Structure 1
Amino acid sequence: MSLLAATRSEGTKLFSTAGWWILALVLVVYVGSTAGGMAAIFGASASGSLPGATDAQVPSEGLAPVLYSLAGSFGYVFPLLIGTLMVTTEFRHQTLTPTFLTVPRRGTVVWGKVLMGLLAGALFGVVAVVSAVGPAAGVLAAFGLDTTLGTGDTWALIGRTVLALTLWALVGIGVGTLVRNQVVAVVVVLAFTQFLEPLLRLAASFVDGLAEAARFLPGAASDALVGTSIYDVMGAGGTEPLVWWGGGLVLVAYALVLLLIGYITTWTRDVT
């Protein structure tokens, strides 16, 4: 079977089940409500509309990009999960055996998953951006604040956000290739992204010597690729972030290393 046919097969596996659109729906609700809620709080503060306030409490300059970047800061876990599930579902439901019988070259199967994962990641990236930008821009406009949607810098940030979430799906495929057990893989993903890394990035603001290393954490690299994040506003960035292309290269490196180790240690084993 050719690579094109293998990629098409992976697309059929992914989009013929309910998992992808359930994750997409949760993504819309989670990112949309977070962006809209933060836009309401910051917008009211920046416009001096908070009860009892006589002037602006937070600057309005640079507020819109930070709110739009929530698509990447909070939404990246969803393409990461979809990439992980694309691989671990095969082990859980034991569909990998017929897959290998159909496509004897295991490398072709991996590349098919990678290509389809990139497409799925781009789709989730677009959904995340729309979910963040729509509510945030609407709320800012309601407060009479600049949405910056007419500037090239904002659209560049949006494009980099989609790119970052696309790369996260690739990282997820690497995780799934390395960790065969689906439950373990999902727990590892959620524990690291929602607990461990945020704590490490927060600690980097207070512990000497940790800030430089924290720049190379996957979430920090993703935020650097996007260009800004809520962590910068909260002062939890630790130090000067990587340049945007450096953040992208770090994410790609994580994905390739995970894929390589997973292929060598796990993917070449016998399956039943």
Structure 2
Amino acid sequence: MLIAATRAEFAKVFTTRIWWILLLILGAYVALLSGGLALLFGATSEGLLGASAGAQQMPTDGLAPTIYSTATSIGYVFPFLLGALATTGEFRHQTLTPTFLATPKRGVVLLAKAIALFLLGAAFGVVALACAVGAGSAGLAGFGIDTALDSSDTWAMIARSILAMAIWSVLGVGLGSIIPNQVAAIVIVLAFTQFVEPILRSVGALADWIGQVTKWLPGAASDALVGSSFYSVMGTGGTQLDWWAGGAVLLGIALIVTILGWLITWRHDVT
């Protein structure tokens, strides 16, 4: 039953256009950002953007992983949105009714959706990392900066990044289960990821005790899981958990939100 339900969830996503639209935007956005950052830092390290000695001696050690991490620290909103839209779309287009008639065990349906979106989120992660690494490494190589692609640590970071993107997609499923209104879910996703958490993390970087709180936020936990973050370039990285703890926190948040969605909305009557 679970396998059949999971196949049905894949079919629901692939019969819409939103998945490939989000994927195209994600790939283009990440490639542009990572490639642009690589060129910017490369030019700065060569003193092409300033004549000061500080600009000419800009350190480039560890720069490559930070640039590659734009795929997750900036691009995580796309699998998050995918999961939310895949769930709220069920309520908007009233496809839950025939789904529950075909699979009466609603918990199985929600689990199948979480599994399907986890795998789709991982696929989004693969595309995002391919674009970030491709564009970023090309930009760095153009200035003779180490791309770190021969390092096992870099590839471990890439693997953890794909996992983070997959978990974000499950978190989107949970949010969509709690807030079935599609417009409201989109607003919450964008508001939280683009404004609320970045502001909180910026404030957390100013004081250690605040950072001890903000490190438990989902975006901070995701960056900790990845092990590198674009936020560190801006000086707003703050205190971070260990990578395994960050993964556990992010997964825990995704599971808790999904379970709450099942308890609050999923078990109720639908029309």
- TM-score normalised by L of structure 2: 0.97
Distance 1:110 1:152 in 2: 36
Matched, 1:259 2:258: yes
**TM alignment of 1:90-239, pairs within 5 A:** 90-207=90-207, 209-239=209-239
Task: Please tell me the root mean square deviation across aligned C-alpha atoms, in Å.
Answer: 1.2
Residue 208 of structure 1 deviates from its aligned partner by 5.3
Distance 1:119 1:206 in 2: 37
Per the alignment, residue 80 of structure 2 pairs with 80
Per the alignment, residue 29 of structure 2 pairs with 30
Distance 1:84 1:95 in 2: 15
Distance 2:50 2:204 in 1: 35
Residue 218 of structure 1 deviates from its aligned partner by 0.4
One-letter identity of the residue aligned with 2:123: L
One-letter identity of the residue aligned with 2:23: A
Residue 253 of structure 1 deviates from its aligned partner by 0.8
Distance 1:99 1:209 in 2: 47
Distance 1:63 1:264 in 2: 44
Per the alignment, residue 48 of structure 2 pairs with 49
Give every structure 1 segment of 4 or more consecutive aligned residues whose post-TM-superposition deviation is greater than 6 Å: none
Q: Show CA shifts across 1:145-184 (max 9, x none).
A: 1101011111111111101101101111110111110100
Per the alignment, residue 14 of structure 1 pairs with 13
Per the alignment, residue 3 of structure 2 pairs with 4
- Is the 1:47–1:145 contact (alpha carbons within 8 Å) kept by the matching residues of 2? no
One-letter identity of the residue aligned with 2:114: V
Q: Show CA shifts across 1:208-238 (max 9, x none).
A: 5211001100000000000011212222122
Q: Show CA shifts across 1:93-134 (max 9, x none).
A: 111111111111101101110110111011000011011111
**What stretches of structure 1 of length at least 5 have no aligned partner?**
none
Distance 1:10 1:192 in 2: 26
What secondary structure, in the 3-state scheme, does the structure 2 residue paired with 1:211 have?
A: helix
Residue 57 of structure 1 deviates from its aligned partner by 4.4
Residue 58 of structure 1 deviates from its aligned partner by 2.1
What secondary structure, in the 3-state scheme, does the structure 2 residue paired with 1:108 have?
A: helix
What secondary structure, in the 3-state scheme, does the structure 1 residue paired with 2:146 have?
A: coil
One-letter identity of the residue aligned with 1:125: G
**What stretches of structure 2 of length at least 5 have no aligned partner?**
none
Residue 51 of structure 1 deviates from its aligned partner by 5.3
Distance 1:36 1:152 in 2: 22
Residue 17 of structure 1 deviates from its aligned partner by 1.2
Distance 2:57 2:14 in 1: 46
- TM-score normalised by L of structure 1: 0.96
Distance 1:62 1:232 in 2: 12
What secondary structure, in the 3-state scheme, does the structure 2 residue paired with 1:234 have?
A: coil
Q: Percent identity?
A: 53
One-letter identity of the residue aligned with 1:47: E
One-letter identity of the residue aligned with 2:247: G
One-letter identity of the residue aligned with 1:134: G
- Aligned residue pairs, count: 270
- Is the 1:82–1:169 contact (alpha carbons within 8 Å) kept by the matching residues of 2? yes
Distance 1:236 1:57 in 2: 23
- Is the 2:88–2:180 contact (alpha carbons within 8 Å) kept by the matching residues of 1? yes
